[in-house]
């Protein structure tokens, strides 16, 4: 006796991909309800026949054209027949976790070291081709949920994901120490490679996220490359810091010179002499130390040559010249070489002229007297 089922509808939860209704024998007056984001497939005698989208259907042979030819007898609306109904949930199912079951071996593109890493994350899947999914993965099963689907894909997923991880790392030259900041690009690249693999089974890979990279801490090659990476940026940072320090030091020294110059200028203004007069005093001091005043006195050079130096400097120059004259009056050794002595005196005269202590005319007169003294 055929079992009558008045209503056939989906009774699974949202973590289910495919659910088979328990009723298998029902009359053609049975009502079929298919919700939004669902599809229903009729099986008869082991063959997948009609597919129904969202809506309410009265199961009659007129509404199920592919079933009609399988009926052996028709007795109005009371004709019983044997069939199976599978519901396919086409909503996007998120937060499906995945992870590599072993380390991925690859050559680190930046430093060329062989390294091994692990990866894990989440993905979201959606049933795209109901018939393909049902025929390839479900068969005679009554139920296909997230965990069972992932178990079906585990070996397939691991072999593909590990290959794609190494491929993406190499193709995009992703440095293992910079991978965290490239996780979005990394995830999208792997997802694009996986799309066709899932599509072969009627599944749409909606989203794919790499959320964690397991780095080989403690591995000799990894630690060596980590040190190289650190030194690369540490040396640059150290060089920049040293450059900034040197610049600050140079600016400080330059500012000190400016401040010192300003102080010297203020001092000269207060004491009544100029920088040129100060330089003349320095030259006169040097000449006096070389005991040239005695020779200048003999050539008619008196204290009048210091007339260009005024104020406190003039007094200091006068005192220095007086000491030099007194020293010059003491007996001194006769030069053993008149030419060397002459050259020394000419050089001193030249220094005094360049310092502004002698005019051109005075210089020439003294040079003539010096020449006369040795002829």
Catalogue all structural domains in the chain, each as residue range(s) with its CATH number.
7-89 (no CATH), 93-128+139-216 (3.30.479.30), 275-374 (no CATH)
Distance CA 281, CA 320 (A): 10
Report yes or no: 96 and 125 within 8 Å, Cβ to Cβ. yes
Separation between Cα atoms, residue 346 and residue 354, nearest integer Å: 12
d(C-alpha 62, C-alpha 69), whole Å: 11
The pair of three-digit structure tokens given for residue 128, joined into one six-digit string: 């795209």
Distance from C-alpha of 320 to C-alpha of 324, rounded to nearest angstrom? 6
Q: Closest Cα to residue 92, out of 17, 149, 40?
A: 17
Per-residue pLDDT of the chain (375 residues; tens, 9 = 90+): 444 446 888 887 888 899 998 887 666 677 889 998 899 998 877 777 788 999 998 876 555 544 544 444 444 444 455 678 899 999 999 888 998 888 888 888 877 788 888 899 999 999 999 988 888 887 767 888 888 888 888 887 888 888 999 889 888 888 888 888 889 999 999 999 999 999 999 999 999 999 998 888 888 877 887 777 777 776 776 777 788 888 888 888 888 888 888 888 787 777 776 766 666 666 666 655 555 444 444 444 444 444 444 444 455 445 544 554 444 444 444 545 667 777 777 888 787 777 777 788 888 888 888 777 766
């Amino acid at each position: 006796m055929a079992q009558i089922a008045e209503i056939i509808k989906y009774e699974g939860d949202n973590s289910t991909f495919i659910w088979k209704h328990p009723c298998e024998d029902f009359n053609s007056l049975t009502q079929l309800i298919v919700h939004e984001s669902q599809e229903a497939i009729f099986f008869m005698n082991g063959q997948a026949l009609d597919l129904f989208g969202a809506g309410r259907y009265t199961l009659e042979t007129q509404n199920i054209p592919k079933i009609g030819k399988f009926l052996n007898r028709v007795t109005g609306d009371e004709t019983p027949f044997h069939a199976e109904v599978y519901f396919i949930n086409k909503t996007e199912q998120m937060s499906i976790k995945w992870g590599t079951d072993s380390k991925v071996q690859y050559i680190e593109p930046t430093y060329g070291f062989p390294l091994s890493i692990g990866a894990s994350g989440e993905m979201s899947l959606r049933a795209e081709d109901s018939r393909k999914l049902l025929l390839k993965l479900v068969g005679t099963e009554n139920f296909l949920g997230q965990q069972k689907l992932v178990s079906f894909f585990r070996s397939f997923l691991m072999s593909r994901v590990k290959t794609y991880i190494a491929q993406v790392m190499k193709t995009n030259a992703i440095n293992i120490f910079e991978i965290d900041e490239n996780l979005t690009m990394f995830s999208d690249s792997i997802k694009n490679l996986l799309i066709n693999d899932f599509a072969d089974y009627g599944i749409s890979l909606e989203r794919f996220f790499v959320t964690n990279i397991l780095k080989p801490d403690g591995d000799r090659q990894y630690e060596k490359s980590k040190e190289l990476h650190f030194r690369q940026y540490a040396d640059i940072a150290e060089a920049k810091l040293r450059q900034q320090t040197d610049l600050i030091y140079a600016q400080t020294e330059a500012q000190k010179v400016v401040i010192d110059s300003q102080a010297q200028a203020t001092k000269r203004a207060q004491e009544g002499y100029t920088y040129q007069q100060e330089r003349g005093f320095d030259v006169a001091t040097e000449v006096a130390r070389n005991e040239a005043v005695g020779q200048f006195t003999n050539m008619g050079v008196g204290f009048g040559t210091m007339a260009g130096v005024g104020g406190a400097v003039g007094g200091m120059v006068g005192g220095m010249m007086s000491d030099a004259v007194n020293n010059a009056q003491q007996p001194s050794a006769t030069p053993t070489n008149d030419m060397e002595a002459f050259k020394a005196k000419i050089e001193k005269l030249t220094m005094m002229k360049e310092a502004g202590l002698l005019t051109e005319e005075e210089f020439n007169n003294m040079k003539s007297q010096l020449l006369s003294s040795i002829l």
